[in-house]
Amino acid sequence: MLFEECVRGRRSVRKFSDQDISQSVLEEIVDLARFSPSWKNTQVPRYHVIKNPQIKEEIARNCVLNFDFNAKTILRCKALVLVTVVEKLSGYEPDGSFSTSQGDRWEMFDAGIATQTFCLSAYAKGVGSVILGVFDENKIRQYISLPQGERVTNLIALGYPLEPAKAAPPRKDVSELLHVVE
């Protein structure tokens, strides 16, 4: 798939078919996501993929801050990805101090880049995705054991799309976004 088609064609998908996502497809998606740039190549993002329907249901019912829209998406998806970051590496000096005034925000930055690459890679393989930012990390930890020293940055609901994508929601004009100083 051409890069431009991949970027323009990807849409957030919230309705999924029953088709399973194979282990090899998940591995191919992460194989591309790992080429995302990261702070000093620290490669802190991790992907915990929940296929277990009971755990997915507990997260949908109890861990989305009562945002029913996300609960429905999680119930419909075939796999729920918990994107985490290994803490205290991205944006930090070896002595544990922050490298810049951005503090620990570079962790989120790295997770964001990796998440976009993950979603584009999924799209190129026909797998739909939507990033979910409304969730309760502490509650999620009651239903799944995550490694110590990792924090959840975002979720990604995954599955093969149930229906053809609608047109992209409107984007701002380039002239509103771009400011060139000569």
Which segments within 11-142 are labelled E, that is strand?
45-50, 79-86, 128-132
Name, in order, each residue with C-beta under 8 angstroms of 92's C-beta and a sequence gap of 6 or more.
Answer: 98, 99, 104
Question: Which of 6, 11, 99, 108 touches ligand FMN (CB under 6 A)?
Answer: 11
Count of CB atoms within 10 A of residue 126's CB?
12
> Nearest Cα to 128, choosing from 4, 2, 48, 29?
29
Among 22, 24, 101, 133, indicate the residue that binds ligand FMN (CB under 6 A). Answer: 133
Asked if 88 and 158 touch (Cβ cutoff 8 Å), the reply is no
Question: Which residues in 14-73 contact ligand FMN (CB under 6 A)?
Answer: 14, 69-70, 73
Structure tokens at 94: 């070896």
Q: How far is the CB of 95 from ligand FMN (least distance, A)?
A: 31
Choices 42-50, 81-89, 130-138, 172-180 (CB under 6 A): range interacting with ligand FMN: 130-138
CB of 112 to ligand FMN, least distance (A): 7
Task: Kindly tell me which residue out of 29, 74, 130, 152 binds ligand FMN, with binding defined by CB under 6 A.
Answer: 130
Q: Is the CB of 5 or the CB of 23 nearer to ligand FMN?
A: 5
Residues numbered 69 to 108 that lie near ligand FMN (CB under 6 A) are 69-70, 73
What backbone phi and psi angles, to 5 degrees, belong to 105? -70, -20
Nearest approach, Cβ of residue 6 and ligand FMN (Å): 13
Among 6, 86, 108, 131, binds ligand FMN (CB under 6 A): 131
Task: Pick the stretch among 25-33, 48-56, 97-105, 126-134 that binds ligand FMN (CB under 6 A).
Answer: 126-134
Whole-angstrom Cα distance, residue 92 to residue 103? 8
Residue in the structure block whose two tokens are 């054991």: 145
Cα(66)–Cα(91) distance, integer angstroms: 33
Furthest-apart CA pair in the chain: how many Å?
A: 57
Nearer to ligand FMN, 23 or 168 (CB): 168
Chain residues in the site for ligand FMN (CB under 6 A): 11-12, 14, 69-70, 73, 130-134, 168-169
